[in-house]
Structure 1
Amino acid sequence: MEQILSTIDFETKGQGFTDITKNINHWIKYKKLKKGILLIFLKHTSCSLIINENADINVLKDLSAYMNAIVPEEGVYPLNKNLKKIEYLHSEEGLDDMPAHIRTMLTSNNLSFSVVDGKLEIGLWQAIYIWEHRASNKSRSLQLHAIGDFDLN
């Protein structure tokens, strides 16, 4: 049993989803991981790492609509509707920054997967996405940590 650490960089195109499943499977093949566990950590606080459906684009649209509804960009409305809107204090990096941090906190920045026969063990209709919460394009880095059996030939 061996382990490998690597970093992979991605460019996102503003708010939305970047499917990285093929990139991860390519990395597994390149590193010759045959069987084991792959830990993926997204090294940022304003985007998320999720696994979700890859067959119907409307799933991703609905996820975005829901997240925008519960974490609005212009501030927070208390559950008690009699109170006024609370504006975010953190705004140095733009109006989309603080909501992006909240959205990341509500989702995840890491995932773990089994690797079987040299590829991710995920469902037929599943994909791994970087969910960008910022409005502009961003460079994002993933830390990959694989533990398992590698083909060292």
Structure 2
Amino acid sequence: MRQASDRLVIETGGRGLTEITRRIGGFVRDSGMESGLLTVFCRHTSASLTIQENAAPEVQDDIVDWLDRIAPENGGWLHDCEGPDDMPAHLKSVLTGVSLSIPVAGGAPVLGTWQGVYLVEHRARPHRREVALHLMGE
């Protein structure tokens, strides 16, 4: 059993989804491992990760709109010291999660035809986000 780890730095443009599938695939390919389990972990409380359709961009827009309806900025939140989008961002992160486990086979992440891995930025302004990668396999 071998292990490999790295981190991705992702510059976001503000609220929305940023696809990181190719970068994750590159990490797996460069590890030289043919099979195993990849953990992808977002190191933030106001951003998250998701696996979602990568063919129709409207899916991404609808997800952002839905999350805004579930956790609106004007929700009367007690925590507001970092701005009106901060507490909703934390709640959205709770809903979508900060870690993913992805099987690896044939030297690549095992994803469906239309699946992509996304960092979800929940804050209104651009941020620099870090995602940790850890692969165990052979």
Which TM class, normalised by the smaller chain length? over 0.9
Work out which of the residue numbers 135, 140, 146 in structure 1 matches 2:129. 140
CA distance in 2, matches of 1:100, 1:55: 25
1:123 paired residue number? 112
| Residue 64 in structure 1 maps to residue 61 in structure 2 | no
Structure with greater Cα Rg: 1
CA distance in 2, matches of 1:62, 1:93: 26
2:7 paired residue number? 7
How far 1:74 moved relative to its partner?
Answer: 1.1
Give me the identity figure in percent. Answer: 41
Runs of 4+ in 1 over 2 A off after TM superposition: none
| Residue 106 in structure 1 maps to residue 95 in structure 2 | yes
CA distance in 2, matches of 1:31, 1:69: 40
1:29 paired residue number? 29
Segments of 5+ residues of structure 2 without an aligned counterpart are: none
* Per-residue CA distance 1:20-47 (angstroms, 9 max, x = gap): 0000001111221211110111010001
Tell me the C-alpha RMSD between the 2 structures.
Answer: 0.9
* Per-residue CA distance 1:33-84 (angstroms, 9 max, x = gap): 2111101110100011000001111111111111111111111xxxxxxxxx
TM-score normalised by the chain length of structure 1 = 0.87
Aligned length: 138
User: What SS class does the counterpart of residue 135 from structure 1 fall into?
Assistant: coil
User: What SS class does the counterpart of residue 17 from structure 1 fall into?
Assistant: strand
CA distance in 1, matches of 2:7, 2:126: 19
